[in-house]
Structure formats: C-alpha cells, structure tokens
Amino acid sequence: MAKRTQRTLNRNEDRNFSELTGKFKNNIYGTSKGKLREAVLQRDLAQHLPWLGVESNKTVLDVGGGQGQLALYLAQLGHHVTLVDISDEMLAQAQQQADKLGVTERVTLIHAPLQALPELSLGQFDLVMCHAVLEWLTEQQQALTLLTQRLAPQGYLSLMYYNRAAQRMANMVYGNFDYVRNGLQVKQKVGLSPNRPLEPQDVNLWLSALPLNKLSQSGVRCFHDYLRDPDKGNSQFDDLLELELKYNQQEPYASLGRYTHLMLQHQAATDDQ
C-alpha cells in the first residue's frame, strides 16, 4: 500500500471535497474537460522539465492533487511523488490507483490542507504542482509563498488557476448579463463551481514578488467552453485537442482559457548558469 500520513484538519474556511469525490471522477476527470486538462499539463511539463522521462528519482510535490492523475503519471516515469490533499476520500482513490499501477513505493499520500505545508517538514522538491486549488482558498497570495518555499533552488512550479477573466468572457457569450453585472457573484455557491476565481493581473503581481521566473503560460480549455454545440467536445475530441495544443500558448487564446497554467522556475536556476 502507498505510504499514508494522517493529519488533523482545521481549515473550515476552505472547501473540502470528500463529499464530491464521485462527482469529480465522473464530471471532470472522466470527461473531455478533464482529458484536455491532463493533455495540456503533460505537454507543458514535457516542454520545460529536462529530466522528465529521462532521469528518474526526481522529487515531486503535488498539493491538492486529488485523485492523483498527474502525480501517478510522474510516479510511473520513475519519480518520487508526495501528494497532499485535504480530502481523505480523494486520497483513498489515489491509493487504489497507485496500487493498481504498481507505483506504491514511489508515492506518499498526506491528508492535510495546503496551509499545513510549513508544519509537515517535507523539505524541498524538484517540482511542485498546484492545479485548480487557489480558487478554493481564502489566502491565495499566502498560498503562493508557501508553494515557493517548497521549491529546490533549481526547482519548477506548475501552477494552474481558474481564470476569472475567462469566466467573465464565457458568461457574456452565454448571455448571462446580470451575472456578469453582479461581479460573477451568486447567493449560494453550488456543485463544483470555484468559490474565488482569480484575476490574472492579481496572480502576476503576487508572483512578481517571489523568486520565480515565468517560463510559459497556457490556456486550458481555450475553445472547449465556447463551443456552440458542446457535444462536439466529445464527438470531435481529437480535432479539439489538436487545435487546443496548437494555439493555447498564443495570445489572445492563452488568456481565454477557462484555466491558466503557468510554468515557473526558481530564480536560483538562472543564477547558476
């Protein structure tokens, strides 16, 4: 069995997804949305990690990694992965999959929120990943600092966040004018809709105060969420994926993705070159 470390949770202000594990598996991971996301993230990592698939035994921290799709992909390539998540149910799914794939010896599962990173004494990592987590947190800028602190001097940060500008654009296309006029606010948050989407200019400002160099920006679902016929996202998925990967690092498309994925590197890497 994959090594698991239990932690006490006391972060009621942030979302815990234990009760939604099945919905994530069926409504996100197993859909065209999830497949696009995974393909974009794997492509971006391959573009910037010189050791990916070549040199094993690198260390990876996946914060809020849920059921561990990307973490387990890296474990299969021979890297040592630590997956931290606030949901015990998500971790149970990750453990089952790790056992099935035969990578349990390279996977450590920790039940804890992002805010507990300083308490965990995990050390530093060659790669830190944090995907679709910031938009559920109250202290978003602080979270970026905590993630950066876990980077090795030449480490990489893979950061993906829910793009408020794209959310605004999509709702204008849908004709939800009152919703946009009200600042994309509803009386009660439901389902899997993120609580606190991020404005790109805020994220860029926060990152500028950290010792990080921006390597690339990709939009995730630049076209998918604007399709007039959503069924084409499934029936013509290969065509959609081809065009997504072709254009999603080019403007204006990169800024229209429902999610924004940034690849960043600790500035110490350039100092040593």
pLDDT at 29: 57
Confidence of residue 187 (pLDDT cuts 50, 70, 90): low
| Mean pLDDT for the stretch of residues 152-181 | 94
Does the annotation flag 88 for ligand binding? no
pLDDT at 55: 79
Does the annotation flag 225 for ligand binding? no
Secondary structure letter of residue 25 according to DSSP: I
Confidence of residue 228 (pLDDT cuts 50, 70, 90): confident
Is 174 a domain residue?
A: no
Q: Is the pLDDT of residue 24 over 50?
A: no
The CATH number of residue 34's host domain is: 3.40.50.150
Cα–Cα distances in angstroms (integers) from residue 245 to residues 38, 47, 175, 202, 227, in the given order: 12, 12, 28, 26, 16
Count Cα atoms within 13 angstroms, Cβ side, for 52. Answer: 18
Question: When comparing pLDDT for 4 and 105, which is higher?
Answer: 105
Does the annotation flag 65 for ligand binding? yes
Confidence of residue 273 (pLDDT cuts 50, 70, 90): very low
Is 118 a domain residue?
A: yes
Does the annotation flag 22 for ligand binding? no
Is 191 a domain residue?
A: no
Q: Is the pLDDT of residue 27 over 60?
A: no
Cis peptide before 197 (omega within 30 of 0): no
Q: CA 206, 212, 218, 220 torsion: positive or negative?
A: negative
- Bridge partners, 249 (sequence order): none
**Number of domains comprising the chain:** 1
Q: Where in the sequence is the domain holding 14, given as residue range(s)?
A: 3-163+196-271
C-alpha 213/C-alpha 264 separation (Å) is: 5
Surface-to-core class of residue 11, CB atoms within 10 Å of its CB (0-12 exposed, 13-18 middle, 19+ buried): middle
pLDDT at 31: 86
User: For the chain, what's the residue count?
Assistant: 273
Is 169 a domain residue?
A: no
Tokens for 94? Answer: 């990750």
Q: Reduce the DSSP state of residue 87 to 3 states and report it.
A: coil
Confidence of residue 270 (pLDDT cuts 50, 70, 90): very low
Percent of the chain's residues with pLDDT above 90: 75
Is 33 a domain residue?
A: yes
Look up the pTM and report it. 0.87
Q: Determine contact, residues 220/33, Cβ cutoff 8 Å.
A: no
Tens digit of pLDDT for each residue in 80-92? 999 999 999 999 9
Tens digit of pLDDT for each residue in 123-162? 999 999 999 999 999 999 999 999 999 999 999 999 999 9
| Mean pLDDT for the stretch of residues 44-63 | 93
Does the annotation flag 15 for ligand binding? no
| Mean pLDDT for the stretch of residues 14-25 | 51
Q: Is the pLDDT of residue 193 over 60?
A: yes
Q: Determine contact, residues 120/110, Cβ cutoff 8 Å.
A: yes
pLDDT at 101: 97
Report which of 104, 14, 102, 19 is spatially closest to residue 64, judged by C-alpha positions: 14
Is 239 a domain residue?
A: yes
Report which of 143, 140, 159, 132 is spatially closest to residue 214, judged by C-alpha positions: 159
Q: What are the residues whose beta carbons fall under 8 Å from the beta carbon of 235, sequence distance 6 or more?
A: none
pLDDT at 243: 96
Q: Determine contact, residues 137/14, Cβ cutoff 8 Å.
A: yes
| Mean pLDDT for the stretch of residues 53-70 | 92
C-alpha 132/C-alpha 162 separation (Å) is: 6
